[in-house]
Structure formats: C-alpha cells, structure tokens
Amino acid sequence: MSDNRRRRGAASLSDMKGSMGSLKRSMKEYYKCFPKLMPFVYVIIVLAALPNDLSPLIMQKIYKLIDVWFKTGDWESAKVDIVPLVIILIVIYAIGIVLSTVQAQLMAFMTQKFLDHMRCDMFGKMQKLPIRYFDSNKHGFIMSHYTNDIDTLRQLVSQAIPSLLQAGLAVAIVFVEMLYFSVWMTIVIILGIIVMGFVTSKVGAGSAKYFVRQQNSVAATEGYVQEMMNGQKVVKVFNHEKETIESFEKLNDELYSDSSKANSYANILGPIINNIGNIMYVLIAVVGGVLVYYNVPNLSISGLVFEVSIVATFLNMSKKFMANLNQVTMQMNAIVMAAAGAERIFTLMDSEPEKDDGYVTLVDAEIKEDGTITEADHHTGKWAWKHPHQADGTITYQELKGDVVLDMVDFSYVPGKQVLTDVCVYAKPGQKVAFVGATGAGKTTITNLINRFYDIEDGKIRYDGINVNKIRKDDLRRSLGLVLQETNLFTGTVMDNIRYGKLDASDEECINAARLAGADGFIERLPEGYNTMLENNGANLSQGQRQLISIARAAVADPPVMILDEATSSIDTRTEAIVARGMDKLMEGRTVFVIAHRLSTVRNSDVIMVLDHGKIIERGSHDQLIAEKGTYYRLYTGAFELE
C-alpha cells in the first residue's frame, strides 16, 4: 500500500467518529424542518409495519384449525372459525397497504423538503465564505457537496431510516412472539444472533472505512472532470489528451478501488446473513421436530404445548425475523455513507466565514450648498459614509469622494512568503492611478486589499480618511466598480447580465451603460438583442464582447471608484479604441485604479506606479517616468510587454 493510501486509511478511521457526529447533526436539522409532522409520520411507519409483524399470531390459529380439520375431516365446523380469521387478515393487510401509501407520499414530500433546506442552507453559508476558501478548494470538489453528498442524505431519510425503523420494530415484535410460542427454539435464534453480530462487526467495520474513502474519491474525480471541462481548449491546443486521460484513470482507479472494497464488504454481508438465517431455519425445524416427537414440555409465555402448528408458525417467524435482521444490517451501509456525506457537508458549512466587524455604512445622501449632509430615502446620485461613534453615540456623515490611501501596507497569502512590502498609494478623488509590473509583482493583490477580499498584515488602508476595517464590507464593495481580466457572465439574457451591476436598474439605464462601454453596437446585432440568452459563461460571444458586457455591468452600478484589472486585455486594437472613449466617460470624476500590461493604455494616467516583487520602485506621470529613464522608460521604449 502506498504512503498516500495509508494516510487516507488512517484519516478515514479517525474521521468516522466525527462523521457519526455530523450524522446526528443532520438528523437534528431534519427534525427542525418537521417538528410536528415527523412524529406523525413515524407513527404511520410503525402502524404500516404492524400487519406483517402481527400476522403470525393469526396464522398460528389458522394453522391449528387446519390441523384439526385434517384430523377430523369436519370442514363445516372448521370454516366457521377459519373464514373470519382470513377476513380479519385480509382487512389488516388492506389497512397496511393504505398506511404504506400514505407513508410513501409523506416521506417523498419530507425528503425533498429537507434536501431543499440543506442545499439552501449550504449555499447561503457558502456565500459568506472568504475568497481565500475558493482559492484553496477545487470548484468541482465543492460541487460534489451539492450532488453526491446531498444524495447520501436523500437515501438516508427516504429509505434507510424508514426501513431501519420498520425492520427494528419487526425484530422486536417477532422476538417477543417467538418467546410467546417457545423459549427453547428462541434460544436457537439467540445463538444465531450472536454469530451474526460477530460477522457484522468484522465485515461492517471494513465497509464503513471504505465508504468514507469512496465519498472523498468521488469528490476528487468529479472535481477533476469539471476542471478538464473548463480547460478543454487548453488541453487540445497543447495535445495533452493522453496525459489528461492518464491522470483521470489514476483518480478513477482509486475511486474504483475504494468503491469496489466498500461494496464488496457490503455485498458479502447480505449473503452471509441470509445463509446464517437458512442454517437457523434448518436447526429450528430439527429442534422443533425433536421436541414434538419426544413430547418435551414447552417453555413459553403462552403455556402452549409443543405441536406441529407451533413449529410451523415458529419457522415462519424465524424466516421473518432473520429477513428483518438482515434488513437492519443492510441499512447500516446507507447510514455510513450518509455519515461521510454529512461530514463533508458540515465541513463546508462550518468553515470560517468572512469576518466583518465594520459599522460604517454607505447611504444615499442629500448634500446642500453649505456642505450639510443628510440621509436620503431615495437614490440621489450622491453617497455618504454614515459613521456611528460608539464613544458618545453620535452619528456623522461624510461625503464619499473616493480618496484612497494605502500606508506602509504588508501582505502575505501564505505566512512567511510576503507578497507586498511597505506599499504606499495615494489616490485623490478623480485621479487615475495605474499599476504596471511583471506577473506576480503584486498589482492585482493591491486591488484585492482595497475591496477587502483579503485583509492586510500591517499598515493602514483609508477610504475618505476612514480605516476600511471600520467600513462594512458590503457597503465598501458597493462603492467599488470592478472589471476583471477574466470575465464571468451568468445564465440569463444580456440585459440580465448588465443589470447584475445594479439589480434595480431600469432597461434604459442598462442600455445607456452598454452605450457608454461601447457594447451597444454588437448587442443590437445579436439575434434577440438585449434579450439574447447567454449560457455557459457567454460561450456564444467572443472574448472581447464578453468583456464589453462586463464593463457595461460595472458602468450601470455607477460607482465612485473603479478598479480595472486588465479590462481591455482581451479586446482587439480597433475595439479598444471604441472602449477607450467609453471608459474615459466612465472614469470622469471617479477615482480609478488601472492594471495593464499594454503600456499605451496607461499613458494618460495621473500616476503610474511600477511594482517589482511586491515593492513600488517607481512612481510618477508618464512624462516624468520617461524623463527619469528608469525601469518604466526601458519597458516603454523597448517595445515589449511586461510579460
């Protein structure tokens, strides 16, 4: 066994206790969904099982009457007693059918409602997780929680729990019935239970271990498949189909191995239990026959003497007892799988959420000529920071202008590997600040810190003189427009995707934003214009068209501060000229941070900052940096890109 598999095995065993704790927690969530309905449903489940469980008592009487009929040949006398018992049995089974139907309908409703609750709860918790979580976990692995792991809970609540409850109840009732008829033959059953318990403990432990492994292997395989689907163009252009297949086969082999072992243990348990039951059936028949033949005094709750009807009834009960006991052991596999799935679900839900201690909020404001600021109950086009002061309980308002300062900022994604060192940035309202530098220099990291996707290790970031740690994150990000190099469009119409920047925006506002970004021309030429449906991240559009929609989305939000991270990198030179005019209008009166590799796009910036290994090594206007003939000069005049 490889070291990797040894570690996985050790982890699986150590996590089993935690998995069972997660299973209990999921059952509490299940109960919370139906605090009044669940007891009623469980009563229905119990009542639906009773006809099968109590029928042996009636059958024993019928067997005895038939035995008397065979001995006497008097059918007329026998049928007087047999027919009513048969009718009672039919009525009981009919009631059982009705109750089982009601149970099935209620369980279907409750199961789907519970899964709906769990998915919504999980998705809601996921939205509160920091960006760091998604950077460190594969998206396919996360998706597995919503599909494979949730499905294990479906099997648990819709199948395993009702079956376990009914089978457990049947085992208890039939055991009491067997004691009622014969203690001697029940002792034979008890010996069989001891053997079955020993076998189950040995086989079940191996099954549980590999079912936990199987859940993790499924997630890893699904994650890899999604990753390769997203990267098919890259795979094909570099002719890596063979290597990709080999990597998948390796993951799939691990899944095969874990699933094979888990199901081998699970599948072998059923036949073993069944055959032990068959052996017990034979032993009971032999023991019963001997007891009847030698007229051994019966030891039972009923006080009945040994006779053929007792043995026949007991054989029927033993078969039912063993079948239900086997059902109990079989449901343990579903419980183990659900425990592993619940553990993974709650691991996501218990992940540390994004912390937000901010208390300064962004509000619509009315600003008078004398500078007095009051909070408005409607959109005025002006914003202000609402700043409660804990010391004296007063509230002050400060106009949002877009004055951003980074003062001696240090930051590391991973402890010990510093990405930014002593970074100082001063962006005055309305200024255009550009960051240039090689990949990994820290350009995007600076903008990630401004919108607090990550928190700094040292230094200060102030927004209009307010420490950004005091500003509530939702309000901070609402004041920032962001256009990324990597566009993300959602399933919906073009209009829906533009409106994503401001959900209450009118159609007219969205169209004006598209015009401002230079996107209106190509949108009008689409089959259904603004109502054209986009799917799969806008795969039916060019990269440049997708980027234009992304810019329009930022424009409709009308934020006072814009962050453009390689916003025009995917646009051709001709389209870039169109976008540049729209961007100039978009940037008017706003503080703008621009990250660019095309140096021609940052020439008109008020300040250009050159970064190298997390430090700002040059700063100034285009003309100033050219005059200094430093790094920027060499990059610009060398006619090559920073990459």
**Tens digits of per-residue pLDDT, 514-563?**
988 888 889 999 989 999 998 877 877 887 788 888 888 888 888 888 88
Contact 353, 124 (CB under 8 A): no
Q: Binning pLDDT at 50, 70 and 90, where does residue 575 land?
A: low
The verdict on 328 and 390 lying in the same domain is: no
For residue 302, being part of any structural domain is answered with yes
For residue 116, being part of any structural domain is answered with yes
- Whose CA is closest to 556, among 452, 481, 468? 481
Burial track 14-41 (b if 16+ CB lie within 10 A, e otherwise): ebbeebbebbebbbebbeebbeeeeeeb
- Whose CA is closest to 203, among 333, 328, 9? 333
For residue 138, being part of any structural domain is answered with yes
Q: Binning pLDDT at 50, 70 and 90, where does residue 304 land?
A: low
Name the H helices within 137-240: 139-144, 150-155, 161-181, 183-230, 232-237
471-504, pLDDT tens digit by residue?
A: 999 899 888 888 877 778 888 899 999 998 888 8
Once rounded to an integer, what is the mean pLDDT over residues 232-243? 72
Once rounded to an integer, what is the mean pLDDT over residues 374-395? 86
Q: How many domains does the chain have?
A: 3
Q: What is the pLDDT of residue 12?
A: 44
- C-alpha to C-alpha distance for 588 and 413, rounded to whole angstroms: 34
Contact 358, 475 (CB under 8 A): yes
From the number of C-beta atoms within 10 Å of its C-beta (0-12, 13-18, 19+), residue 504 rates as exposed
Contact 399, 367 (CB under 8 A): yes
For residue 26, being part of any structural domain is answered with no
Q: What is the pLDDT of residue 642?
A: 43
Q: Binning pLDDT at 50, 70 and 90, where does residue 242 land?
A: confident
Task: Name the domain boundary from 349, 374, 389.
Answer: 349
Q: Binning pLDDT at 50, 70 and 90, where does residue 576 land?
A: low
Once rounded to an integer, what is the mean pLDDT over residues 607-622? 90
For 458, the enclosing helix (H) or strand (E) is strand 458-463
For residue 354, being part of any structural domain is answered with no
Once rounded to an integer, what is the mean pLDDT over residues 25-41? 87
The verdict on 374 and 424 lying in the same domain is: no
Q: What is the pLDDT of residue 484?
A: 79
For residue 408, being part of any structural domain is answered with yes
Per mean pLDDT, which of 78-92, 348-362, 377-391 is the most reliable?
Answer: 348-362
The verdict on 143 and 207 lying in the same domain is: yes
CATH code for position 63: 1.20.1560.10
Residues 6+ apart with CB under 8 A from 24: none
- Residue 383 carries which side chain, given as an amino acid letter? W
Residue 51 has pLDDT above 70, yes or no: yes
The verdict on 250 and 124 lying in the same domain is: yes
The verdict on 301 and 232 lying in the same domain is: yes
Once rounded to an integer, what is the mean pLDDT over residues 203-229? 74
The verdict on 483 and 593 lying in the same domain is: yes
Q: Binning pLDDT at 50, 70 and 90, where does residue 641 land?
A: very low
- C-alpha to C-alpha distance for 183 and 171, rounded to whole angstroms: 16
**Residue 379 lies in domain:** 361-399
For residue 355, being part of any structural domain is answered with no
Q: What is the pLDDT of residue 596?
A: 78
Residue 11 has pLDDT above 50, yes or no: no
The verdict on 83 and 163 lying in the same domain is: yes
Residue 640 has pLDDT above 60, yes or no: no
Q: What is the pLDDT of residue 511?
A: 92
Task: Name the domain boundary from 284, 318, 349.
Answer: 349
Per mean pLDDT, which of 203-212, 302-311, 485-494 is the most reliable?
Answer: 485-494
Burial track 129-164 (b if 16+ CB lie within 10 A, e otherwise): bbeebeeeebebbbebbbebbbebbbbbbbebbbbb
Output the six-digit token pair for 66.
Answer: 């038939």
Q: Binning pLDDT at 50, 70 and 90, where does residue 78 land?
A: low
Contact 215, 340 (CB under 8 A): yes
Q: Binning pLDDT at 50, 70 and 90, where does residue 422 land?
A: very high
Q: What is the pLDDT of residue 13?
A: 43
Q: What is the pLDDT of residue 300?
A: 67
Helix pair 3-33, 75-127: axis angle to 10 deg: 110
Least confident of 198-207, 585-594, 605-614: 198-207
DSSP designation for 159: I
Once rounded to an integer, what is the mean pLDDT over residues 146-160? 86
The verdict on 528 and 390 lying in the same domain is: no
The verdict on 131 and 266 lying in the same domain is: yes
- C-alpha to C-alpha distance for 322 and 102, rounded to whole angstroms: 27
Least confident of 266-270, 366-370, 431-435: 266-270
Q: What is the pLDDT of residue 138?
A: 78
Residue 460 has pLDDT above 90, yes or no: yes
Strands 395-399 and 432-437: unpaired
Residue 297 has pLDDT above 80, yes or no: no
- C-alpha to C-alpha distance for 315 and 56, rounded to whole angstroms: 10
Contact 619, 406 (CB under 8 A): no
Once rounded to an integer, what is the mean pLDDT over residues 26-32? 87
- C-alpha to C-alpha distance for 596 and 566, rounded to whole angstroms: 5
Q: What is the pLDDT of residue 234?
A: 66
- Whose CA is closest to 379, among 476, 466, 478? 478
Once rounded to an integer, what is the mean pLDDT over residues 35-53? 82
Q: What is the pLDDT of residue 404?
A: 92
- C-alpha to C-alpha distance for 341 and 46, rounded to whole angstroms: 27
112-128, pLDDT tens digit by residue?
A: 899 999 998 989 898 88
Residue 302 has pLDDT above 70, yes or no: no
The verdict on 70 and 50 lying in the same domain is: yes
For 610, the enclosing helix (H) or strand (E) is strand 607-612
The verdict on 369 and 412 lying in the same domain is: no
- Whose CA is closest to 182, among 284, 54, 323? 284
Q: What is the pLDDT of residue 336?
A: 78
CATH code for position 458: 3.40.50.300
The verdict on 391 and 412 lying in the same domain is: no
For residue 66, being part of any structural domain is answered with yes
